[in-house]
Amino acid sequence: LDQKGKAMEPIVRAIDLTYRIGSRTLWTDLNFEVSAGSFKALTGPSGSGKTTLLNCIGLLDRPTAGELTVCGHSTSGISERRARALRRTAIGYLFQDFALVEADSIRDNVALAAPVGLGRSERLDRVSAALDAVGLAGRQKEKVFVLSGGEQQRVALARILVRQPELILADEPTASLDRSNAAMVLDLLREQAESGAAVLI
Ligand code: ADP
Ligand code: MG
C-alpha cells in the first residue's frame, strides 16, 4: 500500500512470458512481480536466458509472447521514444561487463549519467555523493581503465545512484569481483531496495 493506503502496482509484472529464438524456446510461461522496495534474485544455469529476460525488462529486447509491464508501461505497445526515456530516467542497468567509457575519468563517467536539467554545482554535488557512497570519492579524476574490475563495477553503480531510478536491474553484478567488492556491491544494491527501489539481480 502507498501512503494513502492505495494498492500499489508492482514495478515489474510478467504474465505468461515466453521467449523464442527460431524453433528454440528459451523460457516459457514466466509469471512474477517485482515491487518497490523488494530485492529479488533470478537464478539459472548459464545459457538459460537470464540476460535475455533482464534485457526484456530493461526495454532493450521484447518477449515473443505474454504480457510484460515495466514502470507502469506495457512493453508491447511502448514507443521507442518512451522506452528510451524510461531507460534514461526510471531504469538503472548494471551490466556484467560494466559498460563504462574506459578512457574517461571516474567523475566524467558518472556525470554523464546524471539527470539532465541540473545546474553545474548541483550536478557535481550529486556525482560526489554517488562516488562517496561507493567509496571512490577521493579518486574522481582517475581514468576508468586503470581501475580493477571491482572498482569499475562500483563506478557503474555510482552511475545508477546518481539517478536514483525506481527499477535497478543487475546482470551477475558480482561475477568477476573479489569477495570484498562483491559484498560491497550487494550491500549497496540492498540499500537501494531499502530506500524504495525495486532491485532485480
Ligand atoms: P544467460 O544469461 O542465462 O547465460 P542468455 O540470455 O545470455 O543466458 O542466453 C540464452 C541463450 O540464448 C544463449 O544460448 C544465447 O546464445 C541465446 N541467444 C540470446 N539472444 C540471442 C539472439 N538474439 N539470437 C540468437 N541466440 C540468442
Ligand atoms: Mg547472462
Nearest-CA residue for ligand 1 atom 13 is 47
pLDDT of 1 over the 70 cut: no
Q: Which three cell numbers stand for residue 192?
A: 537501494
Say what percent of the chain tops pLDDT 90: 75
In three-state secondary structure terms, 74 is strand
pLDDT confidence bin for 35, thresholds 50/70/90: very high
Residue 19 is placed in which grid cell? 521467449
Question: Which residue's CA is minimally distant from atom 20 of ligand 1?
Answer: 52
Measured at the CA of 65, the angle between CA 48 and CA 165, to 5 degrees, comes to 75
Q: If you measure from the C-alpha of residue 23 to the centroid of ligand 2, how many angstroms do you get, rounded to a whole number?
A: 20
Question: Residue 14 to residues 1, 28, 46, 60, 74: CA-CA distances in angstroms?
Answer: 20, 11, 22, 16, 10
Which has the higher per-residue pLDDT, 77 or 20? 20
Q: What confidence tens digit (pLDDT) does each residue in 146-193 have?
A: 998 889 999 999 999 999 999 999 999 988 888 988 998 999 999 999
pLDDT of residue 118: 84
Ligand nearest to the CA of 55: 1
Residue 179: count of CB within 10 angstroms of its CB: 9
Between CA 162 and CA 106 the distance in angstroms is 13
CA–CA distance, 169 with 178 (Å, rounded to integer) = 21
Query: Which pLDDT score, from 0 to 100, does residue 176 have?
Result: 82
Q: Which residues pair with 75 in a beta bridge?
A: none
